[in-house]
């Protein structure tokens, strides 16, 4: 089998798998209060690339973990991501109406239901992770909480909101994105890897270096696609960062330099996991996909 | 020492203790993004009766737990409660402007910061609980997540929003409040008790019966105080449930019957923990306080 085809088969299988795990973790559509459960399911299912879940599964493959054990952290990171999208799209935040090719959750269900659905999805993430069969599920919850909270994603979103109309240096932009998107991607890789054999400290650091580079590359590509991509392919509004006068890698570095930066981060990710040899294969394939994606 | 005085001393000491635990768990005021961390601290510190923390400590006393071990679940339930207040007060939810005698978080910091502060506080609750020294911190996170999420508090709030202008039977009102406020109170008692000796299944059920009765009593008294209390004593807007055309125990049962219901729940709570003898002393004192409180 051609290596690219093998990755397509693996990622497609894992995407179907996580969709099924999420479907079973979510309350049923008719569970009361039905408007809340419908909004939760709408915000999570039927869309999304599941990059974070794939990174968790790939982290698990690095340490020889059973995919069935990785299901819990993979679902948890996707639930945190889905809640953040429901909240980020709210009128008081980024005020966006299109998400994953559908009306945003607050457009479909109203602002109050979208807010509560996000709140309930964050709780569900910790429900799933706390019950995980992985070693020390409590510590895993602490890791995920750090990635989601003030020191991670929520903190990054707060910096993002405060940065509207400001001129940021590329180091400040990077600091924001390391929290806003990078922290959860690092947690995904880390938690997946913790489902298998224990890593030596050097290995943990190497894996984290991979995740940091891959997470930043993901964001730089996001900014490039916000300029070059189409709303149809992305399933969300394009050009909105620039319209909102938000600093992006394209406005700070320029388009050509942003693309060079992506290539450098991809190489950084590759070098970081070189010592793992073939066990890091899926991680490397994901880093390639992140750097070259068009949606 | 007179028993009432002893309770006042105990609860005062525990209230100071949890304030300190929360203070240390929260990010520093000047930690960037400072607007977010200030909003988080504002939403949590310097107010509140800390009923949920006291119930956790009292649950811990039932099983002989060290207070230092109970600190984590006590802080976690208070953080979940504080986040829920920040979100419930938002304009798209209950649209309230006064909380704990101060402007609501969204009035003081803006809607976006209050929303993000709530999100970050929920994450912080699981950070703290996941790192708890209690047995099986992962399972504790799952218990807290169930209490906070769609099957608990967030679900109850969704039912509450959907009930505006509706006529509810007292059984429907009870079902709503068992989720909106009852679930987190049950979790507080349960998690505190899990910090000490293991309970037999019968004991766990008896303790849960106590927590269910105490939680419901808390809500009935809340509804009575919304009619009879003063905003100055309560530190929040009174009469607002009725102004918002929301069903309450007073509108459904009438004031006199609501007070009889409180007394019956207090007796139910007392009977539930009778088998524990003196070990349940603090729990009983808290149930008395919940039933007779004036703020």
| A252-269 pLDDT, tens digit each | 999 999 999 999 999 999
Contact A62, A279 (CB under 8 A): yes
| A218-244 pLDDT, tens digit each | 999 999 998 887 766 767 777 777 777
- Best mutation target, A26, A41, A114, A115, to test chain B (most B CBs within 10 A): A115
- List the alpha helices (DSSP H) in chain A: 3-25, 34-44, 51-62, 67-88, 105-109, 111-130, 137-148, 153-162, 170-177, 183-193, 201-228, 231-234, 240-243, 249-253, 255-272, 281-292
Element (H, E) at B57: helix B51-62
Contact A272, A213 (CB under 8 A): yes
Of A236, A9, A1, A217, nearest in space to A107 by CA: A236
Q: What does the pLDDT average to over B45-54?
A: 93
**Is A36 in contact with B154 (Cβ distance < 8 A)?**
yes
pLDDT at position B238: 73
Domain range for residue B17?
A: 3-292
Q: CB-based contact (8 Å) between A127 and chain B? A: yes
Domain total in chain B: 1
Q: CB-based contact (8 Å) between A111 and chain B? A: yes
pLDDT at position B246: 82
pLDDT at position B3: 63
Residue A86 to residues A221, B98, B171, Cα–Cα distance (Å): 22, 27, 32
- Best mutation target, A26, A126, A175, A179, to test chain B (most B CBs within 10 A): A126
**Is B150 in contact with A126 (Cβ distance < 8 A)?**
no
Per-residue confidence at A101, pLDDT binned at 50, 70, 90?
confident
| B128-148 pLDDT, tens digit each | 999 999 999 999 999 999 999
* Closest partner CB to B40 (pick from A125, A150, A159): A150
**Is B32 in contact with A155 (Cβ distance < 8 A)?**
yes
Q: CB-based contact (8 Å) between A154 and chain B? A: yes
Q: Is the pLDDT of residue A1 over 60?
A: no
- How many CB atoms are closer than 10 A to CB B150? 29
What's the burial of A110, exposed, middle or buried (CB within 10 Å: 0-12/13-18/19+)?
middle
Q: Is the pLDDT of residue A2 over 70?
A: no
Residue of chain A nearest B134, judged by CA positions: A138
* Closest partner CB to A116 (pick from B36, B123, B154): B154
Task: Quote the CA–CA distance of A143 and A208 in Å, as a whole number.
Answer: 13
Contact A14, A57 (CB under 8 A): yes
The CA distance from A241 to the nearest CA of chain B, in Å, is 17
Q: Is the pLDDT of residue B192 over 70?
A: yes
Residue A53 CA to chain centroid, in angstroms?
8
Residues 61-90 of A with CB under 8 A from B: 83, 87, 90
Predicted TM-score (pTM) of the model is 0.96
**Is A115 in contact with B115 (Cβ distance < 8 A)?**
yes
- Best mutation target, B115, B133, B136, B175, to test chain A (most A CBs within 10 A): B115
In DSSP notation, A167-222 reads ---HHHHHHHHIIIIIHHHHHHHHHHHTTSSPPPHHHHHHHHHHHHHHHHHHHHHH
Q: What is the dihedral of CA A204, A207, A211, A214, to 10 degrees?
A: 160
* Closest partner CB to B112 (pick from A36, A92, A132): A92
- CATH number of the domain within which B134 lies: 1.10.600.10
Minimum mean pLDDT range among A41-45, A285-289, B243-247: B243-247
């Amino acid at each position: 089998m051609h290596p690219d085809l093998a990755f397509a088969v693996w990622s497609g299988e894992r995407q179907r798998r996580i969709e099924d795990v999420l479907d079973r973790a979510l309350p049923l559509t008719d569970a009361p209060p039905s408007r809340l459960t419908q909004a939760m399911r709408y915000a999570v299912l039927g869309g999304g690339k599941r990059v974070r879940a794939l990174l968790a599964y790939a982290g698990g493959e690095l340490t020889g973990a059973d995919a069935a054990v990785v299901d819990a952290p993979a679902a948890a990171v996707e639930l945190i991501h889905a809640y953040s999208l429901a909240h980020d799209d709210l009128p008081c935040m980024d005020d966006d109406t299109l998400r994953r090719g559908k009306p945003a959750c607050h457009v479909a269900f109203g602002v109050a239901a979208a807010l509560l659905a996000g709140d309930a999805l964050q709780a569900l993430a910790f429900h799933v992770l706390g019950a995980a069969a992985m070693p020390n599920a409590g510590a895993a919850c602490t890791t995920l909480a750090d990635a989601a909270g003030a020191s991670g994603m929520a903190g990054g979103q707060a910096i993002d909101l405060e940065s509207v109309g400001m001129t940021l240096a590329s180091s400040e932009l990077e600091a924001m994105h390391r929290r806003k998107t990078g922290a959860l991607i690092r947690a995904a890789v880390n938690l997946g890897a913790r489902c298998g054999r224990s890593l030596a400290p050097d290995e943990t650091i190497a894996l984290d270096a991979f995740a940091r580079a891959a997470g930043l590359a993901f964001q730089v590509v996001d900014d490039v696609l916000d300029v070059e991509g189409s709303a149809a392919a992305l399933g969300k509004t394009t050009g909105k960062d620039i319209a909102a006068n938000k600093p992006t890698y394209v406005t700070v570095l320029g388009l050509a330099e942003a693309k060079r930066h992506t290539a450098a981060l991809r190489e950084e990710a590759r070098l970081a996991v070189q010592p793992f040899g073939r066990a890091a294969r899926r991680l490397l394939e994901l880093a390639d996909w992140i750097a070259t994606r068009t949606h």
